[in-house]
Amino acid sequence: MCSIALQLQEKQFALFWDNEEGGFYFYGSDGEQLLVRPKELYDGAMPSGNSVTAMNLLRLARLTGKNDIMRLSSEQISAFAGEISLYPQAHAHFMMAIQFLFGPTKELLLRRRIKRWQRR
């Protein structure tokens, strides 16, 4: 399961990552070349792509133990920290990712016990 997530994440980095300032563009590099490549950050009724990606990167980094993913997620959070600090209420999902990064977390392991049939 994690290998598929890692492959998809690599593709997202290749198509959407801003190498100069960090964060993810709204449009991929394989799409039509527009005058501006915006980065969506505002969390309205639906969270922005950058907010969802921030949380996904942090979860993926913790699940796989890959430090490079953790480093890139920190770069993404740093890229938007100034804008988020001006009006945190407009970035609720992104704030959850920041809380996940710095706050205490708990991991829960669920295991299903299989009962074997016994002959009598």
Which residue segment(s) compose the domain that 76 sits in?
2-102
Structurally, the chain folds into a number of domains equal to 1
pLDDT band per the 50, 70, 90 thresholds, residue 38: confident
The answer to whether residue 119 sits within a structural domain is no
The answer to whether residue 19 sits within a structural domain is yes
What is the share, in percent, of the chain residues with pLDDT greater than 90? 52
The answer to whether residue 55 sits within a structural domain is yes
The answer to whether residue 60 sits within a structural domain is yes
Half-sphere exposure of 111 (CA within 13 A, CB side): 3
Burial class of residue 63, CB neighbours in 10 A (0-12, 13-18, 19+): middle
The answer to whether residue 111 sits within a structural domain is no
Mean pLDDT along residues 87-116 = 86
Span 59-72, pLDDT tens digits: 999 889 899 999 98
pLDDT at 29: 84
pTM of the model: 0.80
23: how many CB neighbours lie within 10 A of its CB?
Answer: 22
